Amino acid sequence: MANADRFYIGANDEHGQNPPTAGKRTPIMPYIGRSFYENEFNRPAKYRFLIACLECGFNVFDVKEELGDLPISTRVARIVRQGLTLLVTYAYNAANDPSVFSSPNGFTVYYSNENRFTASSRLLSYDVSAGLQREIPLRNLGVRSIAEVGVLRSVNCPSTLLECGFMTNFNEAKLMFDPDFQKSCGIGGCLGVCENLDVAYSPKYYTSFPTLRRGTRGNGVKMLQCYLNLYGEELSVDGSFGAETQAAVLQFQTENSLAADGIVGRNTWERLTLSGPKPTLRLGSRGAFVRYLQQKLLSKLYPVGSIDGVFGEQTRSAVVAFQTENGLVPDGIVGRNTWELVSLVGGGRSAF
């Protein structure tokens, strides 16, 4: 087995959400009256992939920390400068008419015959396809070559693109917003990279939580920056704990009723990673677990208002509706029984 720290893994997310890339979205989802934008899946799945790689000891590079889209030429230039071992791009597929739901379903992994590392890209794609198959409950449509995709053909390393589902398939569209599905797609990609590079998949980073503070550098800080970006930040994943990272930590600590000292110790890590048992939540609760609850409810098509980590009246109404429709006591309190059902991947409301 090879040592993971020998390798430099790049990750890219297609399109943008602020502003949203035109056309890259689901049809309007019933019950919630909005689309899910493709990048609302691509970006968090990418960060889950980077986190999984960091946990296994890889060095990583985030191609695009911006919430907006970037020209392919800009992303390719960033990639080429890095001298990466390989590149993984996260995306979501669509059928011919993106305005309506249809039956095509499943995940596909792509490579380019135009890449100078075609054979290595093809092998990487097969390994990543197998990793996804282990982690997500969707049909495997296999590995295919595709032309004229810049992050596949124009980069100077083996490169693969993961289309993790169809945004025009109703059930797979709902999965796009599910944080646990996003995490599984990230882990599946990492499993494939480990297989490709003959590295043991052994996520062991949190056997001890590193204490991080202003001035700290290294992969522990990159891990922190990835997590903070999952909570809405646009930090450069550069491994340097500077003023912007400190400000994001302070905001996170304040929103989660933690000591706002800008130091990332065990309590802050546990809240960032949602470690430990899920707390009972009710009207007035705040923090990362509320945000997770809101994401799960919205992925099941229960409208919660903003994904802001604040358990307000709209979130309570969504909880009551979910409890009512799932045979639970509709008290608006999220305890063990409600957590057990809302935490499942998939499911939720059916199409009209």
pLDDT in tens, 143-158: 999 998 999 999 999 9
Does residue 250 sit in the same domain as residue 171?
no
Q: Which residues contact 249 (CB under 8 A, 6 or more apart)?
A: 224, 228, 262, 263, 264, 268
Span 73-85, mean pLDDT?
Answer: 97
Question: Quick one: tokens of 212?
Answer: 């991080």
**Model confidence pLDDT, tens digit, residues 212-238:** 999 999 999 999 999 999 999 999 999
Tell which of 197, 226, 255 closes a domain.
Answer: 197
Tell which of 170, 197, 224 closes a domain.
Answer: 197
Does residue 29 sit in the same domain as residue 172?
yes
Counting every residue, how long is the chain? 352
pLDDT given at position 253: 98
Does residue 115 sit in the same domain as residue 233?
no
Note whether residue 158 is domain-resident. Answer: yes
Ranking 96-100, 138-142, 263-267 by mean pLDDT, the lowest is 96-100
Does residue 192 sit in the same domain as residue 219?
no
**Model confidence pLDDT, tens digit, residues 184-213:** 999 999 999 999 999 999 987 656 789 999
Q: DSSP letters along 214-247, please?
A: TT-BSHHHHHHHHHHHHTT-----SSB--HHHHH
pLDDT given at position 204: 78
Question: Quick one: tokens of 334?
Answer: 């999220």
pLDDT given at position 50: 98
pLDDT given at position 96: 85
Pick from 34, 144, 158: nearest CA to 93: 144
Does residue 138 sit in the same domain as residue 15?
yes
CB 237 within 8 A of CB 225: yes
Secondary-structure breakdown of the chain: helix, strand, coil percentages, each rounded to the nearest 5: 40, 15, 45
Summary mean pLDDT of the chain: 96
Span 100-113, mean pLDDT?
Answer: 97
For the question of whether the overall pTM of this predicted structure is more than 0.85, the answer is yes
CB 130 within 8 A of CB 199: no
pLDDT band at 351 (very low <50, low <70, confident <90, very high): confident
Q: Which residue has the higher pLDDT, 209 or 283?
A: 283
Could you list the residue range(s) of the whole structural domain that residue 22 is in?
Answer: 4-197
Does residue 24 sit in the same domain as residue 162?
yes
Does residue 67 sit in the same domain as residue 153?
yes
Q: How far apart are the C-alpha atoms of 243 and 262, rounded to whole Å?
A: 10
CATH of the domain at 293: 1.10.101.10
Does residue 122 sit in the same domain as residue 8?
yes
Q: Is the pLDDT of residue 24 over 90?
A: yes
Pick from 180, 184, 168: nearest CA to 297: 180
pLDDT given at position 1: 85
Q: What does each C-alpha distance from 25 to 48, 207, 312, 345 come to in angstroms? A: 21, 39, 27, 21
pLDDT given at position 322: 98
Does residue 307 sit in the same domain as residue 256?
no
